[in-house]
Amino acid sequence: MSRFLFVVPPLVGHTMPTVAVGAKLADRGHQVAWAAHAETVGALLPRGSRLIPVKADVSGQTPAQLQQRWQGLQRVAAFQFLWRDFLLPLATSMVPGVAAAVDEFRPDVLVADQQALAGALVARQRGLPWATSASTSSELTDQFATMPTLGAWIHQLQADFQHGFGVTDPVDLRFSEHLVLVFTTEALVGSLAAFPGHYAFVGPSIGTRTGTSAFPWEWLDPDRQHIVVSLGTVNTEAGGRFFATAVEAVASLTNRLQAILVAPPDLVGVVPDHILVRDFVPLLDLLPHLHAVICHGGHNTVCEALTHAVPLVVAPIRDQQPVVARQVVDAGAGARVHFGRVDASGLRNAITTVLDTPSYRAAARRVQASFAAAGGADAAADHLEKLACTSGRRNSAELGGRDEFFEGTGQMHGQLTGVID
Amino acid sequence: MMPDDEQILAEVNLMLVEIIGEDYVLGLHIGMDTYFDADLELESIEFVRLAAALTEHYGEQVNFVAFLADRQIDEIINLTVGDVVRHVAGCMAISTAGAVHG
């Protein structure tokens, strides 16, 4: 029995992989909790999960307000905003709450998402064994290879943040020295030979979703192909032009396909009968019926599609998405279009090419097999158990009787923390 | 003969049309004040292509990769087509001067 604390940012894509891993650990009899912004992350956790609320405030702005500002920015400006105006202020605001959560829950192992730098800082300050949760592989690749000053700039920002909390030996908090869990495989990343041994490429960690949304299954015509157009949870509002382009792109394809747009219906307006617009869809349930997914290159959407061997058309917008898009194209599992520039005929061409060229589906199947072999959330749980064992032996030797003591206090503290129901 | 800024702008324009794609650039005026990040949404890999095109056209003395490597984040965000034109003109002037004196 060990205790695992997950520290995640108020971002859906970064929280979801930890949910499935946490569920596996709980199934194996471990104690699991999340330290996070309750309003954003609470709804993503399964019933009965323990959530220790952490203030996650960035200059008095809510995560939603920040996303609004972020959406207006392009590549490098968005990257600057992400680090300077979001991740570091977020980390600074989360440190006291994460420290309190560690005092309350007494984890044996802390798991920090790469965008929850407060988790890494607190773990190092407390001498806790900790793991990085790399929900995407984008931080592992050099996405601005032509701009080396950007990497140096991130290191400086992180050093300033750590100095502010009295850390004298600042490190790159995106990468644990104990264990880095990466939720993808070599089928997308390419050769893993250059990565150190404590990097574990476990494949996507996909659980069952809570509150699965309804879907008019009878609308699906078995004689036509089906595609989903989705821009993920963060980018929907900014996608007005893209959704309009998608509607125009598939308008003439009524005889061969049906398209499901995941978008606010009033953003898209009136559409032909073979197009369905829904705020939410149960994507995991839909995937077995799909022939292609058109998306922004969010890592979770891409991995969910490829887990079902569904090929993609990827239109990356910002952040890690160009990296993920390139991985999909390099793997042969999809085509790439330019989010800001693609027109209806270009998008239609990309969609029909992916649907009609068998090599895309075949490549998606290869990625699917690679994911299955990597083990996903179960493999991640194995690695975390090993880390807890190593540290448990060390702590028992140092402190003696520690586990019994903390079991008792843990139960008491459990009543103080928020329990999702 | 040394190309002037106007001529370099026209040449860089052609390279950008080639890199970004004619369909997109058709509806866009690329001038000295056009931003690479905000206006052209140029991607990292497209900067690599631009660097290669500049070297191919103007010769080894135009090293756009080294130029980018020295730029801080705010300079990269605010990088305009005009900055590249002036960089090319500067490199050409130095190399011309070198040829005269050398």
Q: Please answer yes or no on whether B44 and A145 come within 8 Å at the CB atom.
A: yes
- Identify the pLDDT of residue A46: 85
Indicate if A89 and A77 belong to the same structural domain.
yes
A408 located within any domain: yes
ipTM, two decimals: 0.82
* Nearest alpha carbon to residue A147 among A92, A203, A79: A79
Measured CA to CA in angstroms, residue A13 lies from A95, A117, A345 at distances of: 21, 16, 31
Do A40 and A66 sit in the same domain of this protein? yes
pLDDT score recorded for residue A394: 54
Helical residues (DSSP H) of A213-270, grouped into ranges: 240-251, 265-268
Q: Determine whether the interchain pair B38/A343 forms a contact, defined as Cβ–Cβ distance below 8 Å.
A: no
- Cβ under 8 Å to B: A residues 105-144: 143-144
Closest partner residue to A341 among B24, B38, B45, by Cβ?
B24
The domain in which residue B77 lies consists of: 5-101
- Could you say which of B38, B65, B74 has the minimum Cβ distance to residue A74? B38
Tell me what pLDDT residue A399 has: 45
Closest by Cβ to A74, choosing from B20, B24, B41:
B41
- Report pLDDT for A239: 85
Among candidates B21, B45, B77 on the partner chain, residue whose Cβ is nearest the Cβ of A76: B77
Specify if A109 maps to a domain: yes
pLDDT digits (tens, 9 = 90+) for B16-44: 988 887 666 656 788 999 999 888 888 77
Q: Is B24's CB within 8 Å of A338's CB?
A: yes
Residue B42 tokens, joined: 């140029």
Q: Could you tell me the CATH number of the domain that includes residue A74? A: 3.40.50.2000
A279 located within any domain: yes
- What is the count of residue pairs from A and B with beta carbons less than 8 Å apart? 63
* Domain membership flag for residue A209: no
Q: Is residue A212 part of a domain?
A: no
Beta carbons of B41 and A340 less than 8 Å apart: yes
Whether residues A169 and A283 fall in one domain? no
The answer to whether the CB atoms of B21 and A74 lie below 8 A apart is no
DSSP H helical segments within A223-357, as ranges?
240-251, 265-268, 283-286, 299-307, 321-331, 344-356
A77, A146, A322: residue with CB nearest B37: A77
A405: containing domain? 3-203+375-419
Residue A418's pLDDT is what?
44
Give the 3-state DSSP-derived string for chain B, with helices as H, strands as E and coil as C.
CCCCHHHHHHHHHHHHHHHHCHHHHHCCCCCCCCECCCCCCCCHHHHHHHHHHHHHHHCCCCCHHHHHHCCCHHHHHCCEHHHHHHHHHHHHHHHHHHHHHC
Q: Are residues A246 and A163 in the same domain?
A: no
Domain count, chain B: 1
How far apart, in Å, are the Cα atoms of A196 and each of A44, A118, A179, A387?
A: 32, 24, 10, 16
Cα nearest neighbour of A323 on chain B: B44
Interface-testing mutation among A71, A73, A76, A142, with chain B (most B C-beta atoms within 10 A) = A76
Quick one: A148 and A21 in the same domain? yes
Residue A249 lies in a domain: yes
Asked whether the beta carbons of residue A145 and residue B51 sit closer than 8 angstroms, the reply is no
CATH for B34: 1.10.1200.10
pLDDT, position A54: 94
pTM confidence score: 0.84
Q: What is the pLDDT of residues B65-75, one digit of tens each?
A: 999 999 999 99
**What does pLDDT average to in each consecutive run of 10 residues of chain A (421 residues)?**
96 92 96 94 89 85 71 81 91 97 97 97 97 88 80 94 96 96 93 92 82 86 97 71 95 97 90 95 94 93 96 88 90 92 92 98 97 96 95 52 34 36 40
Measured between CA atoms, the residue of chain A closest to residue B69 is A147
State residue A409's pLDDT score: 32
pLDDT at A178: 96
Look at residue A417 in the predicted model and tell me its pLDDT: 38
Domain count along chain A: 2
A208 part of a folded domain: no
